[in-house]
Amino acid sequence: MDTRVVCIDPYNIDHQQLQKAGALIRDGGLVAFPTETVYGLGANGLDAYAVKRIYGAKGRPSDNPLILHISSAEELDRLVAGVPQTAVKLMDRFWPGPLTLILKKSSLVPEAVTAGLETVAIRMPSHPVAMSLIKYAGVPVAAPSANISGKPSPTRAAHVIRDLLGRVDMIIDGGDVAVGLESTVAEVIDGGVVILRPGGITPEQIREVVGDVALDPAIEGDILTGIPKAPGMKYAHYSPEADVIIIEGPPQRVVAAIDRMAKELEGRGKRVGIMATEQTGALYRHGRVISVGDREEPSTIAAGLFAALREFDALGVDVILAEGIEQKGVGLAVMNRLLKAAAYHVIKV
């Protein structure tokens, strides 16, 4: 398949190009596009055949549900069987933005989107290219991350090109994304809220709007059986080619432990990458060090996490030793992704 790559400036949108991309989606094509979270791989969310093409292009398990992306709240009515007041409050506060809501689906939504579930995941992105693309498509856009399934999610068009060139019809290059992690996914049940996947909207922020918020046990590593309610809950995700090991503890101990491990691994002929923070990057004497951000500002780590994992792949390292951070605020989402990348291999010091 020939893949067309189009560059579109989010601050000076080429609407003619986006109209063509929207028509391509409407007619059953696959278009990768930037959102504020990560790049998504979009298809007509009302066309079961087009949706199945997403699974084929990514190599994605068919029981892993997709998120429908809309450009206005008015589009929600025909996709769901009702909107609880709690969901309305969350939409008013966080849409457009990186929050996905799980609601009871209408009969209009194909089972290919929901993996046979009676619920559907929906969000309204804030990225100007994504919003315009959805409007021009004239349909809800089903879109998981635009990468080969299981690999680190793409935060730059170059990541998408590496994974999906020749597998999709079009890739829109809109520059680097802002958030760097997939959206927070929350299910509204009987007026309560359960976070199924942490993201850029934190539990603390949601709690300010609706009160008590629960975390699904899968976030903390419990084994999930059956069909997942949301993307990212069941299968291996975010994994680079190298093995990932997380080291947790007081920063000074973590640095000492990682440097010691790196020296030992290099002595055995292993190429070692170290995922550090701005506070610690210059302290290491061994390994290839990449600083992903400021540990006092976890959002900066979120923005750099997936790109760093892909950079380690490009460097050809065998093992990545990663500093753990506090699982608070956006740090919860960062560690959720990092733990999955490491298959929950954690060393505490």
**pLDDT, tens digit (0-9, with 9 covering 90-100), for 299-312:** 999 999 999 999 99
Contact 305, 323 (CB under 8 A): no
> Residue 226: its pLDDT value, please?
53
Would you give the end-to-end CA distance of the chain in angstroms?
50
* pTM confidence score: 0.94
Residue where one domain finishes, among candidates 134, 155, 182 = 182
Is there a single domain that holds both residue 160 and residue 27? Answer: yes
Residue where one domain finishes, among candidates 142, 162, 182 = 182
Among 297, 97, 302, smallest CA distance to 209 is for 97
Residue where one domain finishes, among candidates 129, 156, 182 = 182
In b/e form, how buried is each residue of 300-327, taking b as 16+ CB within 10 angstroms? bbbbbbbbbbbbbbeeebbbbbbbbbeb
Contact 321, 261 (CB under 8 A): yes
Is there a single domain that holds both residue 249 and residue 118? Answer: no
Among 45, 31, 5, smallest CA distance to 133 is for 31
Is there a single domain that holds both residue 307 and residue 169? Answer: no
Contact 124, 69 (CB under 8 A): yes
Residue 74: CB atoms within 10 Å: 8
Residue 222 lies in a domain: no
Is there a single domain that holds both residue 121 and residue 18? Answer: yes
Q: Which domain holds residue 311?
A: 243-348
Residue 192 lies in a domain: no
Residue 226 lies in a domain: no
* Rounded Cα gap, residues 274 and 271, in angstroms: 10
For 34-73, write each residue's pLDDT tens digit.
999 999 999 999 999 999 999 999 999 888 899 999 999 9
Residue 177 lies in a domain: yes
SS (H, E, C) 16-59: HHHHHHHHHHHCCCCEEEECCCCEEEEEECCCHHHHHHHHHHHC
Question: How many folded domains does the chain comprise?
Answer: 2
Residue 225 lies in a domain: no
